[in-house]
A and B are shown apart, each in its own frame.
Chain A
Amino acid sequence: MNEHRDDDVLICRCEEVTLGEIREAIQNGARTVTGVKRRTRAGMGLCQGRTCERLVQQILRAELGNAPEEIGTSTVRPPVRPVSFGSLVGDEGGKL
């Protein structure tokens, strides 16, 4: 079985990053979730990696065999859930 037959499988659905692109990022030196994110945008979309972070961690571990502590997590920044500009700057009632 060709081990990369699944290179076109989507991993980060928000930013449409495939398994092959993440493997390529790792070949190019990515060693952490943040390293993959900077090279591919995986985890930079609407859900901020809530779905794909675990998958990216699994891929890093499978490709490199390093520990969870080395692979790390995404950096968390506010807002942790999508918010409209209207509700961010609006008064009670959310109007601009």
Chain B
Amino acid sequence: MAQNKWEVVVVGGGPAGLSAAIEAAKSGCRTLVVDANETAGGQLFKQIHKFFGSSAHRAGVRGIDIGGELLAECEKQGVEVWLNSVAIGLFKEKTVAVERGFDNGAKSVVVLEADRIVLASGASENAVRFRGWTLPGVMGAGAAQTMINVNRVLPGKNVLMIGSGNVGLIVSYQLMQAGADVKALVEAAPKIGGYAVHASKIARAGVPIHTGHTVLEARGDRRVEEADICAVDEKWQPLLETKKTLAVDTVTIAAGLKPLVELAMMHDCQMMFHPVLGGWAPLHDAKMETTSPGIYVAGDISGVEEANTALEEGKLAGISAAESLGKIGEADADRIRSEIWGRLDGLRLGPHGVMRMQAKSEQIDHYKSAQSA
């Protein structure tokens, strides 16, 4: 196994990882990004819609354009990017095992030594169990979004969407733009989870939104051909007498994401469970450093949020990693970090944002008590 030594290794080339790598490289760190996919950019290249917020937060800009800008900046700053390369292990003394992919399709495992590691591995979609959930045609809403916006393949013609968070709402609309018919969107909670602006868009387009409803079963020979939905009572129990059958060939599940934390757990980073952040995520300080010195986290791995917060967290991690290697002075790093925190606070506003701000500050508080224990 070949050995490789880097000042900063970033695992994951989404918005958090790329912005961390850019900041680290800009400060003079020899920086490598390993990304499991054929193209870096994470989920940005399927975000064909415009972002919300103020202009300081890239509102009005589409995710795909941000992805392009980040990749260009990585190249300019001399960040090395390994594509089709999967981090399979993170060991003590900060070594990372990577199954490196080559252009000819070959793969081989290399062990990297890193002075600093930024984990920006993102999140994975939550499954929902119902009879028939393992049938072909049932998939994550994010997977369906990748199929239509990246691979240009329509997963099916008639779709039932489960979940009314922003992912469920936005992907419903994009499935319609791609030519599918969204037969219904069901949400078990009594009200819609995502932004009203997205919900009204699909409601205007004629998608029936059933709150207080769930999916009971998907059926079909070899793949989904129909699905049953029904109302639920206040204890979330299905009211079978309200059952309706929909002729759909695709069921997409937007039931939230959970942080992809395996590498952090492997390095014994202390974790905390927070429902607002998608479950278990590593504790970290205001510099994004975990309880394992030299291991940083940024983006969804540190708690599921959005692309714009991931970008800012990545910068925090990149600058802090560079600072700890003596590449940037403490005063400069502090000044930049306080600007970033100002923007992060601005992004964590509104009813959803405030809950996330609270959850993130709990993470930092727990980090402090873990460190003093």
Q: How many residues of B contact A (CB 8 A)?
A: 35
B129 interface residue per 8 A CB criterion? yes
CB distance B263 to A55 under 8 Å? no
Given contacts A54-B258, A94-B108, are A83 and B88 in contact (CB under 8 A)? yes
How many A residues are at the interface, by size bracket?
20 to 34
CB distance B102 to A93 under 8 Å? yes
Q: Could you tell me the distance between the alpha carbons of A96 and B130 in the complex, rounded to whole angstroms?
A: 43
CB distance A81 to B130 under 8 Å? no
Q: Could you tell me the distance between the alpha carbons of A86 and B102 in the complex, rounded to whole angstroms?
A: 14
Interface members, chain A 27-69 (any B CB < 8 Å): 48, 50-52, 54-55, 58, 68-69
B349 interface residue per 8 A CB criterion? no
Name the CB-closest residue of A to B131.
A9
Question: Out of A9, A54, A77, A86, which one reaches B133, CB within 8 Å?
Answer: A9
Given contacts A76-B262, A81-B36, are A55 and B127 in contact (CB under 8 A)? yes
Interface members, chain B 252-286 (any A CB < 8 Å): 258, 262-263, 265-266, 271, 273, 279-280
B354 interface residue per 8 A CB criterion? no
Total residue contacts A-B, CB cutoff 8 A: 83
Chain B residues with CB under 8 Å of A94's CB are 106-108
Q: Could you tell me the distance between the alpha carbons of A9 and B132 in the complex, rounded to whole angstroms?
A: 7
Interface of A is mostly: loop
Given contacts A13-B134, A93-B102, are A19 and B97 in contact (CB under 8 A)? no
Chain A residues with CB under 8 Å of B129's CB are 6, 9, 11, 19, 55, 58
CB distance A9 to B109 under 8 Å? no
Chain A residues with CB under 8 Å of B133's CB are 9-10
Given contacts A87-B107, A94-B107, are A52 and B127 in contact (CB under 8 A)? yes
Given contacts A10-B134, A92-B108, A94-B108, are A81 and B265 in contact (CB under 8 A)? no
* Closest beta carbon of chain A to B119's beta carbon, Å: 12
Q: Which residues of B contact A (CB under 8 A)?
A: 2, 36, 86-89, 91, 97, 99, 102, 104, 106-109, 124, 126-127, 129-131, 133-134, 237-238, 240, 258, 262-263, 265-266, 271, 273, 279-280
Known: A68-B279, A73-B280; 13 extra A-B contacts, CB below 8 A, are A11-B129, A48-B262, A54-B258, A55-B127, A68-B280, A76-B265, A78-B97, A79-B89, A80-B88, A83-B99, A87-B99, A90-B109, A93-B106
